[in-house]
């Protein structure tokens, strides 16, 4: 689906939820950096990151745990900054807007085909089943600073949520990887209940009935996926 359709769905959702004028920022000049470079150059700014009340685990992860994740191969983290420049294009200040952690994964699913009567008698089972996997990149962590949540900026003449731009940049990055670096078919994540509408507006869907993603530690997290390539599955009933 076209990105702008997702954006308009998201704008409509936010307007309905908030029932108020959108907050706008004067500038949004995004700079996406690696976690290690961010720690090296802007560690003090990173310590100011705050995803909001009740989301302290997201704050702690990026400052205390994400490096260890990278060291053991559990995920690579990228940091999104908003940079303010002066008239000579020299950097004046930067705010940490968001971060996301990506990792390789697979979404297990049951491929199930109904056997004809003769085969069903021969094998003693009505269905021929096989557990397969959809190659995917998992968005293991994604957080936006409270300062930039539900905040808009002007993008190509449209009001665009900062969070939507970030999610689109993740999707575009995924497409660049599968086109040039490594093959996979989908993006995958576990969503908090309050974030399901946001991910849905950005093209993610609930997993199909025959998908069997690994269970998240907290059952309130909902598994969702976005197909980047055509996914073929059989699930006869």
Q: How many domains does the chain have?
A: 1
The string of pLDDT tens digits covering residues 132-141 is: 788 999 999 9
Domain that holds residue 64: 3-109+136-227
Percent of the chain whose predicted confidence (pLDDT) is above 70: 84
CATH code of 41's domain: 3.40.630.30
Helix, strand or coil for residue 120? helix
For residues 167 and 202, is the Cβ–Cβ distance under 8 A? yes
The answer to whether residue 201 sits within a structural domain is yes
Mean pLDDT value across the chain: 84
The answer to whether residue 41 sits within a structural domain is yes
The answer to whether residue 34 sits within a structural domain is yes
The answer to whether residue 91 sits within a structural domain is yes
Element (H, E) at 100: strand 91-114
10 Å CB burial of residue 231 (0-12, 13-18, 19+) is middle
The answer to whether residue 114 sits within a structural domain is no
The answer to whether residue 216 sits within a structural domain is yes
Average pLDDT over residues 108-132: 75
The answer to whether residue 232 sits within a structural domain is no
Pairwise CA distance, residues 197 & 60, whole Å: 25
What is the pLDDT, as a whole number, of residue 4?
43
The string of pLDDT tens digits covering residues 71-109 is: 999 999 999 999 999 888 888 999 999 999 999 998 888
Pairwise CA distance, residues 143 & 93, whole Å: 21
What is the pLDDT, as a whole number, of residue 122?
73
Pairwise CA distance, residues 95 & 101, whole Å: 19
The answer to whether residue 115 sits within a structural domain is no
Task: Look up the pTM and report it.
Answer: 0.84
């Amino acid at each position: 689906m076209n990105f702008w359709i997702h954006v308009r769905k998201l704008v409509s959702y936010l307007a309905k939820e908030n029932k108020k004028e959108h907050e706008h920022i004067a500038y949004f000049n995004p700079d996406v950096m690696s976690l290690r470079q961010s720690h090296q150059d802007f560690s003090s700014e990173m310590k100011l990151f705050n995803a909001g009340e009740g989301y302290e685990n997201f704050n702690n992860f990026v400052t205390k745990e994400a490096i260890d994740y990278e060291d053991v191969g559990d995920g690579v983290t990228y940091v999104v900054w908003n940079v303010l420049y002066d008239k000579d294009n020299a950097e004046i200040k930067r705010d940490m807007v968001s971060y996301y952690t990506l990792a390789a994964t697979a979404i297990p699913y049951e491929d199930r085909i109904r056997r004809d009567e003769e085969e069903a008698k021969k094998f003693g089972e009505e269905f021929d089943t096989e557990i397969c996997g959809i190659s995917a990149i998992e968005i293991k962590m994604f957080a936006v600073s409270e300062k930039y949540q539900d905040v808009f900026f002007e993008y190509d003449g449209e009001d665009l949520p900062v969070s939507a731009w970030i999610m689109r940049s993740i999707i575009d990055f995924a497409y660049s990887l599968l086109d040039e670096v490594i093959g996979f078919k989908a993006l995958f994540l576990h969503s908090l209940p309050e974030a399901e509408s946001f991910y849905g507006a950005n093209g993610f869907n609930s997993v199909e009935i025959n998908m069997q993603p690994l269970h998240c530690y907290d059952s309130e997290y909902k598994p969702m996926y976005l197909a980047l390539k055509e996914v073929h599955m059989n699930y006869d009933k």
